[in-house]
């Protein structure tokens, strides 16, 4: 990804948001699915999501680490994870505020 932790965290949150939106409206679009394809699709999506998140969070820090820039790699990784944690906290606050309205 980039060396901008907030951008990386925003991309991760955006990806999760798109998946969430899809599942929010999937039953209305496709109807209920009661076949073996549902669990296969869910496990496939989980595996794909793990790969996408691994790329977003780990690719550049790992590359920097292997190039010998260990401090920079750790700082980038922790900054990205921290920025993502702040976004998750914001989502939780928004969820509780909306639930109370």
pLDDT tens-digit map of 45-93:
999 999 999 999 999 999 999 999 999 999 999 999 999 999 999 999 9
Helices 5-30 and 37-66 cross at an angle (nearest 10°) of 170
Which two structure tokens, joined as six digits, stand for 94? 């928004």
Q: What angle do CA 58, 51, 67 make, to 5 degrees?
A: 30
Share of the chain above pLDDT 70, in %: 100
């Amino acid at each position: 990804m980039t060396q901008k932790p907030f951008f990386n965290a925003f991309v991760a949150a955006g990806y999760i948001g798109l998946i969430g939106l899809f599942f929010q409206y999937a039953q209305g679009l496709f109807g209920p699915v009661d076949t073996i394809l549902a669990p296969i699709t869910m496990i496939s999506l989980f595996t794909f999501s793990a790969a996408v998140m691994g790329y977003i969070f780990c690719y550049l820090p790992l590359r920097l680490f292997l190039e010998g820039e260990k401090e920079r790699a750790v700082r980038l990784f922790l900054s990205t994870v921290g920025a993502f944690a702040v976004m998750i906290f914001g989502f939780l606050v928004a969820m509780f505020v909306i639930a109370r309205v």
